Structure 1
Amino acid sequence: MEKPVATLDKGAICSAWNYCGQRLAAGSVDGYLSILDSRDPLSSSFTSSSKFKVHEGCVVKVAWIPPEYGVAVACIAEDGTLSIWEELVEGTNPLEWKLCTSFKTSSKVLDVQFSVTQTSLKMVAAYSDGFVKVFELLDPLELKNWQLQAEFQNVIDSVSIVGKASCLTACISWNPQNGEGQESSFILGFNSDTPQLNSPKVWEFDPAHQRWLPVAELALPSDKGDQIYSVAWAPNIGRPYEVIATASEKGISVWRVGSTTDMDGRPSMDKVALLSGHNSEVWQMEWDMSGMTLATTGGDGRVRLWQSNLNGTWHEQATLEPTSS
């Protein structure tokens, strides 16, 4: 029999599980952040262990810091402010969440994602003006010390750089694999009024020149300019290629990105599926740990699970519908 694992406060509009699914962070319209824990490791029931004010306005996005760097959550507020909060233990006092740092700029932060690279912790933030900023943590013991490493627009070449843009949403997904000899990379897409910013592009760090380069644009000629709602980079367990999902008003596209490159250094790309669902309004996508099953949710209020069969054909494996309590 189905039962809820957690009950969020009224007004909760965003949430995120930590790396192992043992803690849940939820942001609310009243500016509060709630942390839910399972008091019994054998139980799947979660209750609120902390609740604190992080902003005067609405919290629209939350993301956990990788566990190697402590217990911390990044919050994006409705006005675009980005803040990082850390759980601290001081002597015999109970756990307490404290503000580490806050990023305030003239443009709103739309999305933020973290990745542990070979050298440090990196944070990518996408902004409402179409720019993306890459920050690097200077001290692994101090989550307040970040340095701006790079700033650029989501365009494929310098000729396409645009002036003032207006972006409603943005989506980022790091390559989950950061093994030895593999450079850091992520995919980024926008929902904006500027077509050349929208199409999802894979950015990879070039250590020789200490800069980020766009190595792939996941869009067919007929897709370029489509507003992007979500992106998700699949974990890779032994595949000779990468699998990345992107979502636009046309549906959910599944891309196969090869490890071989052409004369221009671009990897081979193949759009292997276009999946329809959620009334063409996809909110979020996540892969399972094996990179074989894609979960999506959207405007129809359902969660859909997608898989590829042995012939490489993608299909809907299951649909989960919300139940009223």
Structure 2
Amino acid sequence: MDKHILTLDKGTSCTAWNHCGLRLAAGLNDGTLSIYDSADAASSVFNCTSRVKVQEGSILKVVWVPPEFGDAIACIGACGTLSLWEEVAEDTEGNQWKLRKSFERNTSQVLDAQFGGCHTSLKLVAAFADGQVKIYELLDMLDLEKWQLQAEFQNVVDVVSKFGNASCLSASISWNPLKSEVQQAVFVLGFSSNMPSLNSPKVWEYDQDHQRWLPVAELSMPEDKSDEEVYAVAWAPNIGRPYELIAVATQKGIGLWHIGLNPDADGRLSVNQVSMLHGHDGQVWQMEWDMSGMTLATTGTDGVVRLWQANLNGVWHEQAVLAPAS
């Protein structure tokens, strides 16, 4: 029997789970951030425990900070803002959400932002509607107010050239989820824009020796680079595969890519598209891997969640379909 676990506030525009603490954050159209917690340790029923007004306009996206850095959430606003809020304990009023950082305004809208790095370093990647990418680094692990701009570039292989007049409708960022302290920070980014050079997903890795970010792989077939807009990307956890696995959603379907682990003489990683998944009626705008990196959940404009897995021969297929009751 289906079990009702929570009721979201009217006007909820986005949500994000904190899987470590089993908490849900929800952004509302009126600029309110709502937090839902389970009633007790043994309960699967969630209640709203906090509501805080974080901006005047609608919240487009909420993103939890990795749990080792505290209970904090980044909010992307429809007005172009990117702000960071932290839950702190007050002696008289209990836990309260406080503004820790308002990142400087760009001339265009923030489309996506994601935290990554490793356990001893925290970075924030933000993608903007003009095609710009900004990377911020936390200077003090114990103080979420202290960030610095580490890099700014565009999502193109030719990192020297600048491509102007870009108009991006959406962007999707996904960090490599299980990087050890000895490995470099790396993420994948794709755009849906009027400029093909920005759209195809690029894997960006931090070159510690030269203190810069470099594109080490491009996930696009040569015949698709001229017109393929990217709606979502998702990097799978790797618990022993001899390659990385990344899902890319475009108008053609969901492409699954194998990324080599060892760079060539030019620092580039090998790429191979191993499958193209079809089944959704419309665009796919959200994808999530399970903790093992074996199951991919996807959803989009058709309102249906589809689960995908590979069989023993490595052939990917639809495992289950979750559709609303009405």
Is TM (by shorter chain) over 0.5?
Answer: yes
- Cα drift, residue 159 of structure 1: 5.9
Residues 108 and 127 of structure 1 are in contact (CA less than 8 Å); yes or no, is this contact kept in structure 2? yes
One-letter code aligned to 1:289:
M
Residues 278 and 301 of structure 1 are in contact (CA less than 8 Å); yes or no, is this contact kept in structure 2? no
Give the structure 2 partner of residue 270 of structure 1.
Answer: 272
Paired-residue identity, %: 62
Give the TM-score normalised by the residue count of structure 2. 0.96
Give the structure 2 partner of residue 238 of structure 1.
Answer: 240
Residue 125 in structure 1 maps to residue 94 in structure 2: no
Residue 94 in structure 1 maps to residue 75 in structure 2: no
- Cα drift, residue 44 of structure 1: 1.4
Alpha-carbon distance in 1 for matches of 2:94, 2:194: 48
Give the structure 2 partner of residue 168 of structure 1.
Answer: 169
Give the structure 1 partner of residue 255 of structure 2.
Answer: 253
Residues 172 and 191 of structure 2 are in contact (CA less than 8 Å); yes or no, is this contact kept in structure 1? yes
Change (3 A) 1:42 1:58: same
Give the structure 1 partner of residue 75 of structure 2.
Answer: 75
Give the structure 2 partner of residue 285 of structure 1.
Answer: 287
- Cα drift, residue 280 of structure 1: 3.6
Query: What SS does structure 1 have at the residue aligned with 2:224?
Result: coil
- Cα drift, residue 99 of structure 1: 0.8
One-letter code aligned to 2:26:
A
Alpha-carbon distance in 1 for matches of 2:303, 2:218: 30
Change (3 A) 1:191 1:23: same
Query: What SS does structure 2 have at the residue aligned with 1:196?
Result: helix
Gaps of 5+ in 1: none
RMSD: 1.3
One-letter code aligned to 1:15:
T
Alpha-carbon distance in 1 for matches of 2:117, 2:186: 11
My pick for the range that moved more, 148-157 or 138-147, is 138-147
Q: How many residues align?
A: 324
Residue 193 in structure 1 maps to residue 194 in structure 2: yes
One-letter code aligned to 1:228:
V
My pick for the range that moved more, 261-270 or 13-22, is 261-270
Give per-residue Cα distances to partners, 1:14-71, cap 9 Å, x unaligned: 0000132610000111111110000122221111001111111110000001111111
One-letter code aligned to 1:260:
N
Alpha-carbon distance in 2 for matches of 1:73, 1:52: 12
Gaps of 5+ in 2: none
Query: What SS does structure 2 have at the residue aligned with 1:222?
Result: helix
Give the TM-score normalised by the residue count of structure 1. 0.96
One-letter code aligned to 1:47:
N
Give per-residue Cα distances to partners, 1:134-191, cap 9 Å, x unaligned: 1001111211111000000000113653112111111000001221331110000001
Residue 7 in structure 1 maps to residue 11 in structure 2: no
Give the structure 2 partner of residue 115 of structure 1.
Answer: 116
- Cα drift, residue 119 of structure 1: 4.2
Question: Which 4+ stretches in 1 moved above 6 angstroms?
Answer: none
